[in-house]
Amino acid sequence: MTLARALCVLAAWLLLTVSGRWLGAGEAQQSLAASVGGSIGLPWLLAAALTVALLSSHRRALGLGAPEPLKSAWLVWPPLLYSLLMLLVAWAGGWPPRNVLLIVAINTALVALSEELMFRAILLQGLLDKLPVWPAVLVCSVLFGLAHTVNGLATGDFSGALWQSMAAFLQGVCYAAIRLRTRSIWPMVVVHGLWDFALVTSMLSASADGESSVLPYAALLAVLPLCLYGVYLLRGSRRAMLRIETA
């Protein structure tokens, strides 16, 4: 995957996401949680389909195989633990109706698949074609964060979208580090989906009771240690090895 091709895929992915979110907003702007729980998101479906369709045959380099070695999958435990704790908090506050849960599960799975394929498979590998590990991880994470400002178009909450963008940047460092250390995107697809599912269901349950969920604020506090964990995983002794393996 060359950098030029990766950037072209990113441009197409952003066009689908931005145009879809803009059209989906309609005249009445919705919260992000309401849009995720309302109906199956066509922009997320199309973005996921695009990334799957444009994947090259270099499955190992893009992280499309199982973790190598398989025991490296244990490195996912900090974000996985956070996600499971967030699910427990969401469960304690009650769940939305079953049909809404199904829609949220499908949408968050599509988002997780689409974003991990786009940013931690295609874009990260394209950046590694030209840059050392750390610059590639940082550029990838910055672009991942900036992509989340798109949510402000649909919700009208640009301040909230900015905070989400900052959180996504910090998460992106951790997610990229785990993807590189495990040589697979699949552990983070699972965690990413669980994380988003817990956040959205918690916000929907709280809004139904006329309250605000504490999980988005707790998630903001959680992403800093996750970023530091990613820095630890990409410490110098590991970085040299990863640069050879991902070249």
- pLDDT tens digit sequence for 68-115: 889 999 999 999 998 898 888 778 767 778 888 889 899 999 999 999
Q: Are 123 and 155 in contact (CB under 8 A)?
A: no
Tell me, what's the pLDDT at 34?
Answer: 65
Taking Cα atoms as reference points, which of 12, 213, 43, 226 lies closest to residue 123? 12
Q: What are the residue ranges spanned by the domains of the chain?
A: 3-246
Cα–Cα distance measured from residue 195 to residue 175, given in angstroms and rounded to the nearest whole number: 12
Please state, rounded to an integer, the average pLDDT across all residues of the chain: 82
Tokens at 37, concatenated: 């729980």
Tokens at 3, concatenated: 């950098």
Tell me, what's the pLDDT at 25?
Answer: 47
Tell me, what's the pLDDT at 205?
Answer: 72
Cα–Cα distance measured from residue 201 to residue 91, given in angstroms and rounded to the nearest whole number: 9
**CB under 8 A, 24+ apart: contacts of 156-164:** 156/29, 157/31, 163/220
State the average pLDDT over residues 213-225: 73
Q: CB neighbours of 103 closer than 8 A, spacing ≥ 6?
A: 36, 37, 38, 39, 40
Q: Is residue 158 predicted with pLDDT exceeding 70?
A: no
Q: Is residue 60 predicted with pLDDT exceeding 80?
A: no
Tell me, what's the pLDDT at 152?
Answer: 60
